Structure 1
Amino acid sequence: MRAKRLTAAQRRRLAQAPDCSLLGVGLAPDLYAAALQYLFDRPSPAGAHNEWYWDVDEPLFEATPLEWTHIQTVLFANAGADLAAYNDEQVGMGLTYVMNNSVSDVPFAAIDASVPIQEAMRMMHAMPELWRQCIGPRLAGLHRPIGSDAGQLGYACYMWFDVWPTFWNVRHEPSWQEALGRVLHEMLEMPWREVQVAALHGIGHRLRDLDRKDEIANTIVAFIRSIDPNDTELKNYAEAARQGMVQ
């Protein structure tokens, strides 16, 4: 069987991609394995029980900001394989812990003064893979009204760039503006509606801070032309995102 050719965009990503492996970032395999277990090897809440991270007796995972940045880098880059053993609820809860500062301090790791900017940018370079390898395929069969409940994983997907404080705290830094703009652009090009909605949600909330309004407007116009013309809800949401007016 002839190997499938890479697209031009895929070739560019490979050529520009930093090494996001355990060895490449210098992360101990045992620490990464322990982090995966801590984040994802959890029971789904049943009945009146809350998610595991609301337990006041739950011990914190011991890692420095740089280690947490590296953990996220490797996790994002290998999300398809590394999270395959966990169900959607487990993945959603673990990702919520990573992205929501009302749950943990992990979102502040990459912007800690002890973390070199190149390591934070390596994490951002890996971030689209989380949606490409894991979230998108898992939510591929979902077509729900935008903003409605879609479980733990749907929440993490839709709300990431709404509640994620990392960018907000460095929103005036050009390197972060460019990095997040690239993440959202790549997500918008993915074939899964839930990922596209998440990207539009992020664009709508961060439009002013990204400081590239015309570029984003052109991207969204092209996106609207590419989608199912009968998906009026998605088209209207994209137009709202272009104006920075999403909920």
Structure 2
Amino acid sequence: MKKAKRLTAAQQRRLGWTPQGVGLAPELYAAALRYLFDRPEGRQDGAWYWGADEADFDATPLEWTRIQTVLFANAGTDLAGYSDEQVGHGLNYVMNNSLSDVPFAAIDASVPLDEAMRMMDAMPTLWRDCIGPRLAHVHQPIGSATGALAHVCYMWFDVWPTFWNVKHEPRWQAAVWQVLREMLDVPCREVQVAALHGIGHEQQRLNRRDEIDKTVAAFIRSIDRNDQNLKNYAQAARQGRVL
């Protein structure tokens, strides 16, 4: 009899990234998806959250943290039925504290640090399985791609206030750096640019100067020799000089 193949640590974690696996009511997760993404695109600016009568979604900080964990881990499949604009606007609501308090959920005093770290552990999958495939066709001057999803991709670590508020916490430093490292490996130029943008902004707060230098240097060596703009941007990020 053949032995069952042992799951990798990443596969074991992935199996736990379900509503039931994180202790979240499936119906609450389904309702959150509808709230964030099941929106008409008829508004002139496309942004449903500017509606004056838009009610907040009723969830605790711990529930929002768990919603994000499951969302990040399963966005490739769970958001497959939504357009890029719907996905972009929904993710913007999640990342941008000018639109919601969701970015503060994972750092709320009521949320155990292990829960926040599980959310961060799931975050690279959002870029790898959802944002990357959706933007893989884009090859525009750095920072110039248009649309809600391109905005979220490029601006996440510029706008997202979560890390700023816990920047001295070593586990948060390690978690954010792991996300950015994994984003550099996503075969999508826009995601790689977003990772470099984040590295450039967060370099000092990540507290790992040598590791960043070596990682970005290796990335620069891997870039197509004809893509000088990306090489230049990577060099700027390596030195903490991005806008």
2:71 aligns with one of 57, 66, 75: 75
1:92: how far off? 0.1
Distance 1:46 1:30 in 2: 28
Distance 1:187 1:24 in 2: 25
Deviations 1:112-171 (A, max 9, x none): 000000000000000000011100000010001111142000000000000000000000
1:46: how far off? 4.1
Report the counterpart of residue 3 of structure 2 in structure 1: none
Distance 2:13 2:67 in 1: 21
- Report the CA distance shift for 1:18/1:215 in structure 2 as closer, same or farther (over 3 A): farther
Report the counterpart of residue 151 of structure 2 in structure 1: 155
1:18: how far off? 7.8
Distance 1:138 1:102 in 2: 25
Is the counterpart of residue 118 in structure 1 residue 97 in structure 2? Answer: no
Aligned residues: 237
Contact in 1 for aligned 2:138/2:145 (Cα 8 Å): no
Structure 1 stretches of 4+ moved >4 Å: 15-18
What do you get for the CA RMSD once the two structures are aligned? 1.5
1:33 aligns with one of 30, 36, 39: 30
Distance 1:218 1:13 in 2: 24
**One-letter amino acid of the counterpart of residue 151, structure 1:** G
Report the counterpart of residue 14 of structure 1 in structure 2: 11
What SS does structure 2 have at the residue aligned with 1:78?
helix
Deviates more, 1:17-26 or 1:124-133: 17-26
Distance 1:122 1:81 in 2: 19
Distance 2:227 2:194 in 1: 16
Deviations 1:14-72 (A, max 9, x none): 3666822111111001100000000001112443x451111121000000000000000
**One-letter amino acid of the counterpart of residue 77, structure 1:** A
- Report the CA distance shift for 1:18/1:173 in structure 2 as closer, same or farther (over 3 A): farther
Contact in 2 for aligned 1:66/1:109 (Cα 8 Å): yes
Is the counterpart of residue 141 in structure 1 residue 130 in structure 2? Answer: no
- Report the CA distance shift for 1:243/1:181 in structure 2 as closer, same or farther (over 3 A): same
Gaps of 5+ in 2: 1-6
Distance 1:28 1:241 in 2: 41
2:40 aligns with one of 35, 39, 43: 43
Q: How does 1:1-247 map to 2 (within 5 A)?
A: 11=8, 13-14=10-11, 19-47=16-44, 49=45, 51-247=47-243
Gaps of 5+ in 1: 1-9
